[in-house]
Structure 1
């Protein structure tokens, strides 16, 4: 090993980052807050899904939900070593969207509409859960 740069030996660095020792209660508190953020993201994305630009329905909240969920899962990955535990914000997001498909506030229909908006919930699920699932998959397989 070595002999590659000006015939000098290369120094081995097994880990360039120092392990962060964080108290267990703080870790649980942060992961709980990230899980609650997943619920809040699902509520906001669901209620802003029928947004329109002029007369055209434009479900931008699905894209924003995907990006926020990626950020939540990424933050959770920094607070735990387990990808299963880091997926808590994603699971809470999926559970909230699932509950909103069955029952809405005041027995209203949250995901409904005609035309493009009839399929907006599928776009919300694909982007909102697909992007963070891709991040978790890449973390596990790297």
Structure 2
């Protein structure tokens, strides 16, 4: 198999990993640290998305928007779960701080990878 075909397979797998990070981040969002709700899955999703985007940057063509493919699939997964929950039910929400869960997941889950992609583009433009 040539490098181009292998590149497509790796990018598709990285996109599927973005979906898995979105699912796991969503379903483990209401975790507790003692008695306090603590969004550890949102923080872990941010670290995983950063790692996936970094790996996609290696396999994507230079200057391509495919670098952010795992982040795009993560965002699409979170959006689908916000709008169309399983069985028509809402996955996010609840009393108090749980209402901020989707916002925390989006900010903490995408923040590091957005920062890295923008920083990389800025360095590429300046070089």
The alignment's TM-score, normalised by the length of structure 2, stands at 0.91
Cα distance change of structure 1 residues 25 and 35 upon mapping to structure 2, 3 Å threshold? same
Deviation at 1:103, TM superposition (A): 1.2
The equivalent residue for 2:97 is 116
Q: CA RMSD, aligned part only? A: 1.1
How many Å separate the matches in 2 of 1:110 and 1:52? 17
How many Å separate the matches in 1 of 2:10 and 2:53? 12
Q: Between Structure 1 and Structure 2, whose CA radius of gyration is higher?
A: 1
The equivalent residue for 1:34 is 14
The unaligned stretches of length 5 or more in structure 2 are: none
How many Å separate the matches in 2 of 1:64 and 1:79? 23
Q: Spell out the pairing of 1:1-142 with structure 2 (5 A cutoff).
A: 23-80=3-60, 81-142=62-123
3-state SS in 2 of match to 1:141 = helix
Deviations 1:45-76 (Å, cap 9, x if unpaired)?
00000111232111110000000000000000
**Count of matched residue positions in the alignment of Structure 1 and Structure 2:** 121
The unaligned stretches of length 5 or more in structure 1 are: 1-21
Q: Runs (4+) of structure 1 moved beyond 3 Å?
A: none
The equivalent residue for 1:5 is none
Deviation at 1:83, TM superposition (A): 4.1
Relative to structure 2, which stretch is displaced further, 70-79 or 47-56?
47-56
